[in-house]
Amino acid sequence: MASQKPIIIFGTGRSGTTIFQRMLSEHPNLSWLSSLANRYPQKLHYNRLLMTLLDNRKITNILRRRIQPEECYCFWEYYAPGFSIPARDLLASDLTPKAKVQIQNATSKLLTKHRSRLLLKITGWPRTGFLSEIFPEAKFIHVVRDGRGVANSLLNVDFWRGWEGPEKWRWGPLSPAYQEEWDASKRSFVVLAAIQYKILMDAAEAAISQLKTSQIMTVRYEDLCDDPIATFQTVTKFCDLEWNAYFKSRLQRYKLANTNAKYKTELDDQQQADLNNALKDVLKKHGY
């Protein structure tokens, strides 16, 4: 059986989850999915061996330069088909008994004597209902970021499907309200990126409402950049992990920079105005 308290990071994507996961994965008691689990989901002893090797601090830096924690959707698809590309959030009712047993058995094989807690990360749909049905005592960390930074980042990555319109992306059809908003903007892709952010933040709010208060913590990207040590002191306490000198020293190797303001130089005045208008309510709601 897998650990009863895995730590699961989630966010909209482009919100800081990747750097947050990499930093938290430096904790010596955490096991995590690497490219080995993604490439060989049926041979998880490869990933477990990597976790064991990481305990040898003489080679930790060498290994970490080559292999980092990943979302590993090939792993998820192998044990729970459809996990990576649902058209809506995955709920507890979507979990089949077969997938539940398969995931529990697979994740238990990722743990080692010293790395007895599992760290996972997903982006896009929260999937917390689905995952909490598998791991009832999981700890969830929601990484949030100013939506203007998220939307601008989406416009600058080659995998954003918004350019093909909502008919082709992963987030299902637009609601009447969001369709009206997009049409009113003359189908601005800047506005569509903002709508994607709002869809996923709406889904996260609904998902979080179904969790116990003790299960969920929110980490703001901006706070992480401003004071990573204080952020992770709070995170380790929430996750029931030991705060120690080794973990702190590993964290201090990371140099973070808040890139939220990039939209001000990468978008023109009209695009900035459209972005701010599209996000004004959700930004206010989340304290931005």
Helices (H), 15-127: 17-24, 35-39, 45-54, 60-66, 73-79, 97-108
Q: Provide the mean pLDDT of the chain.
A: 97
> Domain extents for the chain?
7-285
3-state secondary structure of 95: coil
Residue 2 has pLDDT above 80, yes or no: no
What number is the average pLDDT over the span 124-133?
98
- In whole angstroms, what separates CA 136 from the centre of its chain? 19
DSSP letter assigned to residue 174: P
What number is the average pLDDT over the span 64-82?
97
179-216 exposure pattern, b = at least 16 Cβ within 10 A, e = fewer: eebbeebeebbbbbbbbbbbbbbebbeebbeebeeebb
pLDDT at res. 143: 98
32: phi then psi, degrees, rounded to nearest 5 = -150, 165
pLDDT at res. 3: 60
Q: Give the burial class of 248: count Cβ atoms within 10 A of its Cβ; 0-12 exposed, 13-18 middle, 19 or more buried.
A: middle
What number is the average pLDDT over the span 29-34?
98
pLDDT at res. 125: 98
CATH number of 7-285: 3.40.50.300
Task: Tell me how far apart the alpha carbons of residues 246 and 65 are, in angstroms, rounded to a whole number.
Answer: 18
Give 1's pLDDT tier (boundaries 50, 70, 90): very low
What number is the average pLDDT over the span 238-256?
98
Give, in order, the Cα–Cα distances in Å from 81 to each of 94, 95, 99, 131: 11, 10, 8, 14
